[in-house]
Every structure is written in structure tokens, then in C-alpha cells.
Amino acid sequence: MRLLLIEDHDALRASLAAGLAQVGYRVDAAGDGQEGWEAAAAGEHDLIVLDRMLPGMDGIALLRRLRQAGSGVPVLLLTARDTVEDRVEGLEAGADDYLVKPFAVAELLARLKALLRRGRPADPVLRIADLEVDLAARTVRRAGRALSLAPREWDALARLLAAGGAVVPAEALAAALYGGDENVTANAVEAVLSRLRRKLQPPGACPLLHTARGAGWRLGVE
């Protein structure tokens, strides 16, 4: 069972990683939000233990981005904050469980086992016209031909698919592509969408990625 631990406190991260490895988990560890996102986005883990307060990209932003990308991997959120509002925010962002620091390792292990018993939901193959997207395998085909997408192109496609044909505003796409980076320009988002459009729509294919001027983008058949 492969687990991703995202925790910025060095001593706690090392201690938890060692303890989890001792009980049989294969543990990958990350010490900040960006590193954690890159590891989580690879889709190679059965469980994620995610600290809420992280440098670079906080845990809530990382979790929302992961869910927007279509991931169903179970996530246990760690936090030192224990108000009702904090718990609700974490669960609404997509956490499957919530554990307040400090905690006993035995409780952490019990909660991880409970998450595994619930099972990981199967990621469907989504289809729009002759476009097929396998969220679990992270593969894309158009008319049976495999398409190669860069990581941010994949993130944009996953966010558009999650909208179910509705227009996704530029701000939401910027969050899905770049997390909470306030320095991202509209041109950067447009450049990613332009590259994605070229790959999704080879010459002669019906358009699937549409620009809603002044509003954002949507995926679907006109």
C-alpha cells in the first residue's frame, strides 16, 4: 500500500514516515505544498496524509486542486486547528477524514485502515463525442488516437471535465493550474488553454474546447 505524507515539520514528517513504514506502508514524503501537489498529481498513491498548514501552497488549496483534477484518492487532513468552521472547510474541500494535532499514532493508523476499508472509488472513463479521458490512467484519446498532454494541460482538461459542460471562469482555471499563486497572469492561463485546444482539435475534428468571451472556457459539443 503506497502512501503520500505531506508535512512541513521535519521531525514529525520523519517520525511519521518511519512509523508508517514499520507497519507496511510504502511511504513517499513531501515537505511543502508545491512538492506535495506534484507528488499527489502523479496519481500513484492509495492514501494521502496531508497537513493543513504548508508553505508554498496550503493543504486546503492543494486538496481542492486535487479534487478539481478528478482524483478520488482518500485524504486524511492533519491540523492544529479544531474549530467547527475549520473542520467543515476541510471536509468541504474534499477531505475524507480529519485528525487534530497532537494525536496518537495508533489513532492515525486506525483512521487510515478505516479509509482503506471504504475503498477507493473507481474513476470513470469520461467521453465527449469521440474524446475519451481515463482519469485513473491519466490518458486521453481523440477518435482512438492517443494524445500527449503536459501536466498543466491535463490539469486544465480535468477541471473543464469536472464542470460538466458549464463555463469555467479564468480564475478557477488559474487556481487549478497554479494553486494560490497571485502572480499568474491571464495570458499564462490562455497559453495553456491554447495548447490544449490544438491537441484536442486536430484538423478536421469538431471543436470541443470553446471560449466564452469575458467569462471563461467550456468543454463540450456545440
- Residues contacting residue 65 through CB under 8 Å, at least 6 positions apart: 37, 57, 155, 175, 176, 179
Q: What pLDDT, in 10s, does the model give residues 139-187?
A: 899 999 999 999 899 888 988 887 778 888 888 888 878 876 667 788 8
Residue among 51, 55, 3 at smallest CA distance from 33: 55
* CATH architecture for residues 125-219: Orthogonal Bundle (1.10)
Amino acid letter, 144? G
Question: What's the confidence (pLDDT) of residue 202?
Answer: 85
Residue among 81, 80, 63 at smallest CA distance from 72: 63
Q: What pLDDT, in 10s, does the model give residues 122-134?
A: 456 788 889 998 8
Contact (Cβ atoms closer than 8 angstroms) between residue 5 and residue 19: no
Q: Where are the domains of the chain?
A: 2-118, 125-219
- Look up cell 507496511; give the residue: 24
* CATH architecture for residues 2-118: 3-Layer(aba) Sandwich (3.40)
- Fold equal for 2-118 and 125-219: no
